[in-house]
Amino acid sequence: MADIAIRTRALTKTFPPKKRRLLEVVRREPKKPAFTALAGVDLDVERGELFGLLGPNGAGKTTLVKILSTLLLPTEGEATVSGLDVRRDAEEVRKRVGVVLGGDRALYWRLTARENLWYFSQLYDMPGAKAKKEIERVLAQVGLTDRADDRVENYSKGMKQRLHIARGLLTDPEILLLDEPTIGLDPHAGRSLRALVRKLVDEDHRTVILTTHYMYEADELSDRIGVLHKGKIIALDTSAGLKARYAKEKALVVRVKGDPAAAEAILRGEGDVRRVEGGLRLAGDLPQERISDIAARLAKAGVPLLGLQMEEPSLEDVFVALTGEGLVDAPPEGDDE
């Protein structure tokens, strides 16, 4: 049997309702209902795997990560880390788990990377000599040794995110939880961060759970993927397994520059069309003459085409097949300031 690093059973998290404002009370508006962020999650993550937890905004990813790192208590159900219960054995769990929350602003921008890590090591009560050694180790691991004495305010977003991960690695955790680590990074910084995460698993032999709402990221990076939707894991397998099961059909993917509306109007008449990252997707294994015909009509209408080709099913197709919802979210743009 596989060695299980993380296990949850019927894990549930309900947030109490927001308080009504005075005006709402006076107007006798009904009380707001409690919100169920996790609705019975069953999950087994094996030791040494890179597990991608994929889900749209609001799916419950951060809530799950916070429960697994003991930052939040579950409402019901079980969660164990290396067999330790997140409620009863919280302190032991914290020794084994490192967590890096997305959008975390907990770095001191006026301090250098080394000073930041020293500060955190002292929060963790690390003896001085050990702290110095660990700081050098984690700096090297995330590739920041050369810039370790620069102030964080001069760091790019990608470097700041590396420093967050270094902080998460300080206590040498078996398990690392990364909550949307590439959000807001430019494509290049995102790619290099993904390579770092992969290395933490392949060379450093840690177990990583990475949450993301980027389909291509989960696809490219994960050993296995759990699809989280409205607080439930609705599918769990390797990327290839998910595709084979839920999205067998090829599609014609039409990439256009700018607004895809004009191309969409033309493709609508052809069948099942959906917007995807960078363009449109027309379901079905189309013969070459039909593809040529579509290309000609798009060209005639003046649609600025960037590409037009048959593609294998994507993880996005899996998501749509499972939920009936699209998840169009282009890779982040912008500079690595």
The residues of the shown chain that bind ligand ADP, judged by CB under 6 A, are 15, 35, 37, 55, 57-63
Q: Minimum distance between the CB of residue 206 and Mg ion, rounded to whole angstroms?
A: 21
Angle (CA) 90-94-99 rounded to 5° is: 130
Nearer to ligand ADP, 58 or 326 (CB): 58
- Contacts of residue 287, defined as CB under 8 A and 6 or more positions apart, other chains included, come to none
CB 179 within 8 A of CB 106: no
Nearer to ligand ADP, 37 or 267 (CB): 37
Q: Minimum distance between the CB of residue 315 and ligand ADP, rounded to whole angstroms?
A: 17
Q: Can you tell me whether residue 166 is helix, strand or coil?
A: helix
Nearer to ligand ADP, 40 or 58 (CB): 58
Which residue, 132, 140, 185, 184, is CA-closest to 163? 140
Sheet of 35-46, strands arranged across: 35-46, 4-15, 76-81, 84-85
* Residue 57 partner contact from ligand ADP, Mg ion, none using kind-dependent CB cut-offs of 5 to 8 Å: ligand ADP
Nearer to ligand ADP, 20 or 132 (CB): 20
Q: Minimum distance between the CB of residue 8 and Mg ion, rounded to whole angstroms?
A: 17
* Residue 15 partner contact from ligand ADP, Mg ion, none using kind-dependent CB cut-offs of 5 to 8 Å: ligand ADP
Beta strands in 145-266 (DSSP E): 175-179, 207-212, 224-229, 232-237, 251-256
CB 104 within 8 A of CB 69: no
Q: Minimum distance between the CB of residue 61 and Mg ion, rounded to whole angstroms?
A: 5
3-state helix, strand, coil in the chain (%, to 5): 35, 25, 35
Nearer to ligand ADP, 1 or 330 (CB): 330
Which of 8, 62, 112, 182 is the binder for Mg ion (CB under 5 A)?
A: 62
Q: Minimum distance between the CB of residue 57 and Mg ion, rounded to whole angstroms?
A: 7
Size of the site for Mg ion (CB under 5 A): 2
- Residue number with the smallest Cβ distance to Mg ion: 62
